[in-house]
Structure 1
Amino acid sequence: MVCPATMLRQWRRELRAWAPRLNATILHESAVSSQALADANGNKKNARLRLLRDCIADAKGVLLTTYEHVRLMRDQLLSVRWGYAILDEGHKIRNPDADVTICAKQLQTVHRLIMTGAPIQNRLSELWSLFDFCFPGKLGTLPVFQAQFAVPIQLGGYSNASQQQVMTAYRCATMLKDLIAPYLLRRMKADVDIDLPKKTEQVLFCPMTGEQREAYRSYVHSRDVEEILEGRREALGGIDVLRKIVNHPDLLERTTQAHSEKYGEPERSGKLLVTEKVLGLWRTQGHRCLLFSQTQQMLDILEASVAKAGYTYRRMDGTTPVSHRMRLIDEFNGDDDVFVFLLTTKVGGLGVNLTGADRVLLYDPDWNPSTDAQARERAWRIGQTKEVTVYRLVTAGTI
C-alpha cells in the first residue's frame, strides 16, 4: 500500500482496527527503530531492506510505504511478486512521465487499486495515467488516447467551439465514460450524508492596508510586469510576488527582515487582521479550527500571531518529522484545549482526519483548486458531529 508519508501511521492504525490478522509494516525511515538501526550498523538502507524482507516473509504481511520510497527502492520492490498493490491518493501518479509513475506501473501484480478524490486535476492525460496503472492498455496508448479523446473533448469545451466540435466532444466524452464506468466506483459525500452534519463555505473579502496597496501598485507598474506583458518573463514569478504582497508584505523581505521585531506585524496585512478577528470570534464561541496556508513562510507569521494571542495550537508542515505527525493529529483531535491547528495545504490537506475542528480557514488559495478542495474536507469527515464552516480569504481588488 502506497500513500503520502503523513498517512502511514493512520493506515497502520486502521488496518490494526479492521484487519487485526494482517501484519502491517511501515517501510520508511521514521519507522526504523534505534535497535534496528544499530543492528544494521547505522545504515538506514540496510534497516529498510530488513523491514522489507520481514514483510515479504510474512504470508499476512502488508507493506505500507510512500511514493518516494517506491522510487528510491524500485529495484527491491519490483523484484517482489505482490498479491495486491493499492495506491492511496493515487493522483500522485497522474504524470505519465514521472519516475514514480513508471515505477508504480512496473510493480509485479495483476491486482491493482487506486483511491483518489481528484482523478483529474488539469488534463485528461492524468485520467489515462491512472487507468494505465489499473488496466494497462484499456484506453490505448497515450498518443492514441490524446487523439481520440483528450483533444476532441478539449476543443469542444472552448467558448468559440463550432457546433460540430461540441457534438464531437460530447460523443467522445460519452464513449470515454462508458469505457471506464465498469472499473470506476465513485463515492460522493451525498452517499453518506446521513452520517455527516451540514457544511457551509464562505469567501471573506479582505481589504488591503495602505502599505499593501502602495506595494501592489508599485509592482504592477514596475519594469518586471512590463516584461511579463511583453512575454519576456514568466508570469508565474510576477503572480507569486503579488501573492506575497497580499498575504503579508514582509514575505518579500523575509531573508533580511525575518529576525526583526516588527516582522509579520498584523497591522500591515489585511488578511492577517481579518484572521485575528475571526479566530478571536471563534474562540469566544467555543469553536476549534484548522488554519491552512500554502507556504511555511506564511505559516511562520501566522504561528507568531497565534502564539502572541495566547492560543494553544499545534503545527504540521513539510519540516515536521513523519514519526511525529500522527501524534500531532491525535493531540488535536483528542484535546479540546488545543484551539487551532496550523497546516500547510500540501502536508495537512491530504487524507488525514481532523474531525476535532469544526471551522476551517484557508488563508491563501492554491493554484490548483483540487488542492484547496482536499484541504476543505479534512474536518468534514465521517466522525464529525458538529456543523462545519469553511472560510476562504481573498484580497479584494487583486488578481
Structure 2
Amino acid sequence: MKQGGDLFPYQLAGLNWLEFSWQKGQHVILGDEMGLGKTVQAISLVGSLVSRGCAVPHLVVGPLSTLLNWEREFRKWAPHLNVINYSGTAADRQVIYKSELCAPNRSGESLPQKKRVKFHVLLTTYEMILNDRQKLGRFDYATLIVDEGHRLKSRNSKLFGALKAFKCSQRIILTGTPLQNTLEELFMLMNFIDPKKFTENRIEDFLEKYADIDTKEQIDELHRLLKPHLLRRMKHDVLKELPPKKEQIVLVEMSHEQKDLYKALLTKNYDLLSSKSKSKATGMKNLLMDLRKCCLHPSLIRRKK
C-alpha cells in the first residue's frame, strides 16, 4: 500500500484486525470516530486481499455523496485495482453492466458470468442496490463494505433485507456512530453482522437486559459480547499529538433583505404558528426549513417562489 503513503500505527492495527476477521470468516463493524480513516483501512484490506490472489470482486455500498471520495482514495492507495462506479441513469448502468463488469466469451467458449469478472471493486449506492439487486446479486463478493452503515439500523428497511441477500465472504460496516440513538439500532447492526448470534427473536431480551446499564458487570458483559465484532477508536486515544479542539462561535447578523424575508415568512404563516392543532407538525417543519434557508441565503427562497 505504498502508493498512497504510510498508514498510521492505529490504522495498521485496524487493517490487521480486519485481516484477522477475514481469516476467521467473521463479519465486523469498523466504528472509528469520524476522521480516523475508515475508508483507507477498508481499501487497504481490499488491496491486501487482491495482492494475495483473491480473485473474487469486492462490493462497496454507500451514499451517492461518498462515491467520488471512494474513487479518489482507491486511485491514491490502490491505483492497480480496477474500480467501477456503478451509478447514473438506468441506461448508464446498463452500459456499465454490459461492458465494464465482465469480459465477453471468446469464440467457442461459454463461461459463466462469474468466471468472466474483470473488475476488482464495484462502487454503488443504496438506491442502486435496491433498483438493480437482481443484476448485482448474480456475482459472489469477497467483501461487502457498507459505508455509513447506520442506515441499516431498522429491521424493516428494504436496504437491510436487500444487502443480507448478497453472497459474500465478509460483511464490513463502516460507521462513526455505531450507537447513534438506541440499543435496538445497535442490535440490528449486530444482526446484520452475525444473524446467528444476534437473532431477531432475542432483541427483546437484549433490550431488557441492557436498557439500564448501571453496574460494571453489565458494562463488561456488553463489551465482551461486542468485542469480536466491533472495533472503535477515538481521536483522543490514537492521535494524542493533536492539539485540543477549539470552538469559536461567531455571530453574524442577517442582511436587510434577509430580515425582511424572515419577517414575511413569519407573517405569512401566522395562522400556522398560532394554531393548536396536532396536525400542524408537517407545516412547522416546512416553515423551519424555509427560515433556515433564509438565514443561509435569501435567494434560496426566491428561487422557490
> TM-score of the superposition, structure 1-length normalised?
0.48
CA RMSD of aligned residues (A): 3.9
TM-aligned CA distance change 1:235 to 1:190, over 3 Å: same
Whether the 8 Å contact between 1:245 and 1:252 is mirrored in structure 2 is no
Write out per-residue CA displacement over residues 298-330 of structure 1, whole angstroms, 9 at most, x where no aligned residue.
xxxxxxxxxxxxxxxxxxxxxxxxxxxxxxxxx
For 1:223, the equivalent position in structure 2 comes to 271
Task: Determine the C-alpha separation between the residues in 2 that align with 1:148 and 1:69.
Answer: 35
- Correspondent of 1:117 among 148, 164, 176: 176
CA distance in 2, matches of 1:250, 1:201: 20
Q: 1:144-179, CA deviations, whole angstroms, 9 ceiling, x for partnerless residues?
A: 31x22335655x4xxxxxxxxx758x8766543331
Question: Residue 29 of structure 2 corresponds to which residue in structure 1?
Answer: none
1:53 lines up with 2:98 in the alignment: no
Alignment of 1:155-304 (within 5 A): 156=212, 167=214, 175-193=221-239, 196=242, 199-205=245-251, 211=260, 214=263, 218=267, 222-227=270-275, 229-231=276-278, 233-245=279-291, 247-248=293-294, 257-258=302-303
Among residues 128, 135, 139, which one is paired with 2:187 in the alignment? 128
Shift of 1:192: 4.0
Question: In 2, distance between residues paired with 1:188 and 1:19?
Answer: 26
- AA matched with 1:148: D
Q: Aligned equivalents of 1:46 and 1:80: distance in 2?
A: 16
Tell me the matched-pair count: 232
- For residues 206 and 65 of structure 1, the distance between their equivalents in structure 2, rounded to whole angstroms, comes to 40
Distance 1:259 1:128 in 2: 41
**Kept after mapping to 2: 8 A contact 1:84/1:112:** yes
SS in 1 for 2:239: helix
Q: Which moved more, 1:48-57 or 1:129-138?
A: 48-57
The range that moved more, 190-199 or 118-127, is 190-199
Deviation at 1:212, TM superposition (A): 6.9
Q: How many Å apart are 1:128 and its aligned residue? A: 2.1
The amino acid across from 2:95 in the alignment is: A
Structure 2 CA distance, aligned partners of 1:53 and 1:110? 20
2:197 is aligned with 1:138: yes
**1 CA distance for matches of 2:196 and 2:78?**
33
TM-score, normalised by the number of residues in structure 2: 0.61
Structure 1 gaps of 5+ residues are 31-41, 157-165, 261-399
Aligned-pair identity (%): 28
The aligned residue for residue 99 of structure 1 is 158
CA displacement, residues 245-299 of structure 1 (integer Å, 9 cap, x when unaligned) = 36528999977x4399xxxxxxxxxxxxxxxxxxxxxxxxxxxxxxxxxxxxxxx
- 2 CA distance for matches of 1:65 and 1:243? 30
Structure 2: state its 5+ residue gaps: 1-59, 104-112
Stretch moving more, 119-128 or 95-104: 119-128
* 1:79 aligned onto 2:125: no
Rounded Cα–Cα distance in structure 1 between residues aligned with 2:196 and 2:134: 24
Larger RCO of the pair (alpha carbons < 8 Å, separation 6+): 2
The match for 1:22 among 81, 90, 93 is 81
Q: State the Cα distance separating 1:129 from its structure 2 match.
A: 2.4
CA distance in 1, matches of 2:78, 2:296: 50
